């Protein structure tokens, strides 16, 4: 019997990176978790224990820190492109993938304004970036937002769904809708690789479009909300080719207060996290023609 090696990749995960740029009047803080993965001609290390072509994962970690010294001066996407292009330049590599999660901090507010050198971790969300560069120079850039917990206390319903002998869920035309948003989007490659492409500005406008759409629309299902928010994000940014959202439906059930002689005009709820519905969908621009 003969065997062959299938698809494989390896790399360094959860590289913790913090930088402090020390200006004369204020410090700027960045906090990231970085992962590097490589694909390529790594058959020999698997099948015959030959490590000659192996780039040590410790080298990957060290490269991230060395590049951060003077190259982490702009967006996470640009930093990821620098790293991915470096690793893809190894002859043994066919593709390099760099994933970055940026953890936001905000300045402590004092009576004299924002502190120049004191920060508090902002738990509102994480910023995502993923960069892939292949041997030929082909580039793919994905951005996103994660851990963004949001709630609509009205303008949400769920009615008209299929019912069978196992269905107990009541229909409701006004409910709380809560979710923890993970949204990612892909850029047109010709725009994302342009030297003057403003990743930070696009990210801010895209997430603002998401939030404004979330607040404004009436949701007949989480699925419809993905469609409405995804199209709003692409309307706001022509550089975006697709939007993917993964949304857990974090249920809030109205508590029955009748046993206590009380009514409940949709004011008292119990929050549950498990089990929850999970909706995953991608909205794309339709190809011309």
Please state whether the peptide bond connecting residue 78 to the residue before it is cis, i.e. omega within 30 degrees of 0. no
Of 12, 61, 86, 125, which residue is the catalytic one?
Answer: 12
Is residue 61 part of the annotated active site? The answer reads: no
Helix, coil or strand: residue 118: strand
Q: Which of 53, 142, 141 is nearest to 90 (CA)?
A: 53
Can you tell me whether residue 95 is helix, strand or coil?
Answer: strand
Residue of 19, 27, 33, 57 marked catalytic: 57
61, 86, 125, 251: which one is catalytic?
Answer: 251
Catalytic site includes residue 86 = no
12 is catalytic: yes
DSSP code per residue over 186-248:
EE-HHHHTSTT--HHHHHHHHHHHHHHHHHHSPBSSHHHHHHHHHHHHHHH-TTEEEEEEEEE
What would you report as the CA-atom Rg of the chain, rounded to the nearest whole angstrom? 23
Active-site residues, by number, are: 12, 57, 251
């Amino acid at each position: 019997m003969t065997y062959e090696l299938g698809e494989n990749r390896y790399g360094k995960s959860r590289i913790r990176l913090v930088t402090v740029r020390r200006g004369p009047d204020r410090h700027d803080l960045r906090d990231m978790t970085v992962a590097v993965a490589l694909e390529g001609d790594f058959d020999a290390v698997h099948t015959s224990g030959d490590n000659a072509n192996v780039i040590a994962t410790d080298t990957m970690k060290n490269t991230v820190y060395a590049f951060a010294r003077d190259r982490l001066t702009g967006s996470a996407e640009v930093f990821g492109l620098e790293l991915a292009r470096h690793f893809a330049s190894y002859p043994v590599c066919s593709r390099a993938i760099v994933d970055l999660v940026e953890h936001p901090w905000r300045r402590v507010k004092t009576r004299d304004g924002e502190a120049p050198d004191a920060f508090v971790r902002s738990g509102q969300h994480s910023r995502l970036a993923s960069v892939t560069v292949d041997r030929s120079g082909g580039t793919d850039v994905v951005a996103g937002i994660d851990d963004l917990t949001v709630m609509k206390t009205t303008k949400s319903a769920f009615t008209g769904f299929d019912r069978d002998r196992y269905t107990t869920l009541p229909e409701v035309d006004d409910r709380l809708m809560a979710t923890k948003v993970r949204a990612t989007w892909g850029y047109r490659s010709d725009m994302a690789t342009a030297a003057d492409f403003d990743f930070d500005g696009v990210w801010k406008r895209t997430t603002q479009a998401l939030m404004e759409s979330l607040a404004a629309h009436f949701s007949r299902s989480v699925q419809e909300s993905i469609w409405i928010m995804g199209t709003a994000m692409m309307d706001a940014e022509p550089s975006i080719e697709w939007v993917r959202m993964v949304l857990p439906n974090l249920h809030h059930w109205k508590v029955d207060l009748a046993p206590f002689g009380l009514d409940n005009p949709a004011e008292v709820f119990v929050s549950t996290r498990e089990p929850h519905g999970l909706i995953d969908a991608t909205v794309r621009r339709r190809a011309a023609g």
